[in-house]
Amino acid sequence: MKANLTTQDSNPLIDKRINFVGDAVADIRDGATILIGGFGEAGSPIELVHALLDQGARNLTVVSNNAGNGHVGLAALIEARRVARMVCSFPRSSNSVVFDEQFKAGEIELELVPQGTLAERIRAGGAGIPAFYTRTSAGTPLQEGKEVRDFAGRPHVLETAIRGDVALVKAERADRWGNLAYNKTARNFGPIMCMAADQAIVQVRRLVELGDIDPEHVITPSIFVGRVVEVPDPADETTLINQGIKRVPQ
Amino acid sequence: MSAEGWTPDEIARRVAADIPDGSFVNLGIGRPEAVANFIPEGKELVFHSENGLLGMGPSPAANAIDLELINAGKKPVTTVPGAAFFHQADSFAMIRGGHIDVCVMGALQVSSRGDLANWSTGAPGAIPAVGGAMDLSVGAKAIFVLMTHTTKDGQPKLVEDITFPATSRGVVSRVYTELAVINIDTDGFVLRESAPGLAFGDLQARTGAPIRRP
């Protein structure tokens, strides 16, 4: 089924609400660059990622701080061999097994980016800034192949912006325009990834009426958001992992 | 004091005592986290966690864990009154923009020029992972390293030149180990304090570059 756009089709109101996660990700193409929010499991849009897994797009480049845990969420997407290339700052974790195996077998490409550089490259992508210089990584192996220039007597490394075809993000609340509010440290990469993607797709615990989010408390303004879908009771990775869930048939 | 010098708690207490009152502080994952347990009465510090929290409090009770309130080590934490949440670009603007007063990190090696190695052993086949270490080490106003003085097999970790891949160059200002507290200035290592009963010659013998006595 295509996205449920009947409300939009039948009247001129702005309405970014989608009924089902599957519809929200239906048009993601093979070879797409996908920005996936989350720091560890906090803010990880696990239902959207599972919908993308079911949808079948492959040869993806995924930009995300980590490379997934256990056999669910991003780890499941990697396990199903949909991800050709990971751009991330910290692909290791105590529960990260799938990425490790593919990386050691030379089956997945890794671009390792310092976390602050990753954040700023994404922010720059959303703000129309093609590149910037930073002290981070100067004099280290991660500056290799990059332009280095001195400012104030110190070497700085040229870093280029990151944009995504799509962002998959988890937030707490959204209205039909796509204004977002987040929960605690689950905010992490959400706001900047929404800015930096052609199509930001957001799962939220609760859809609310326009005006219910105080304008002072809107964290991501609606202009950066393309689709919102309500997932009232999202799974958490820890529980799925403790239950031994493997999302990809073994 | 044990035969090996100060205990980990004694070292953490020293670090906590040396951080100026009112500082914004980032504690690295692992041993540096213990510094938060030894803040002297009457000193107010604000702890930053690079995943997007200023005003981080201690671990929650088991029945109060919120998986969306975690620290940079991905462990559940709490907030203190006055805390704030923010996104990654703001969090690293705090770091890279020089707003964090002190960052306490672990290390594999520190050179007498203040070069830091703490993200990779460079071992073939290892999964490289850097996180926020490079950003924190160039961005914070002061970098304190908390580490063991030598490796498990007795090799110095305070060295002339780092042999592990660099995290940052010329950034470390002080190192705390079980044997000594050592400052780094433009001329190299300078002894600030050594563990009671430790002869200077013994300290120097376990250090890979000359230490000056003030």
Write the pLDDT tens digit of every residue in B78-94.
999 999 999 999 999 99
Q: Check residue B30 and give left, alpha or beta (phi > 0: left; psi -120 to 50: alpha).
A: left
Interface subset of A 34-63, CB within 8 angstroms of B: 39-43
Residue A2 has pLDDT above 70, yes or no: no
Instruction: Identify whether B50 is a catalytic site residue.
Output: yes
pLDDT at A9 over 60: no
Distance from CA of B136 to the nearest CA of A (A): 9
Contact B69 A42 (CB under 8 A): yes
Give the span between the Cα atoms of A72 and A68, in whole angstroms: 8
Instruction: Tell me the whole-structure pTM to 2 decimals.
Output: 0.95
**Chain A residues close to B86, C-beta within 8 Å:** 187
Q: Spot the catalytic one: B50, B68, B178, B193.
A: B50
Q: pLDDT tens digit string along B194-212?
A: 999 999 999 999 999 999 9
From the CA of B90, how many Å to the nearest CA of chain A?
Answer: 9
- The answer to whether residue A147 scores a pLDDT higher than 80 is yes
CB under 8 Å to B211, separation ≥6 — which residues?
Answer: B180, B182, B188, B189, B190, B191, B200, B203, B204
Per residue in A93-108, pLDDT (tens digit) is 778 889 999 999 999 9
Q: What is the pLDDT of residues A156-167, one digit of tens each?
A: 999 999 999 999
> Hey, is the C-beta of A242 within 8 angstroms of any chain B C-beta?
no
* Cα separations in angstroms, B149 against A62, B111, B128, B183, B212: 40, 12, 25, 14, 17
* Of B124 and A89, the one with more pLDDT: A89
Could you read off the pLDDT of A171-206 as tens digits, one per residue? 999 999 999 999 999 999 999 999 999 999 999 999
Joined together, the tokens standing for residue B31 give 């041993």
From residue B18, how far is each of A176, B76, B100, B104, B106 by CA, in Å?
Answer: 51, 27, 15, 11, 17
Structure confidence at residue B214 (pLDDT): 85
A216 Cα distance to chain centroid: 25
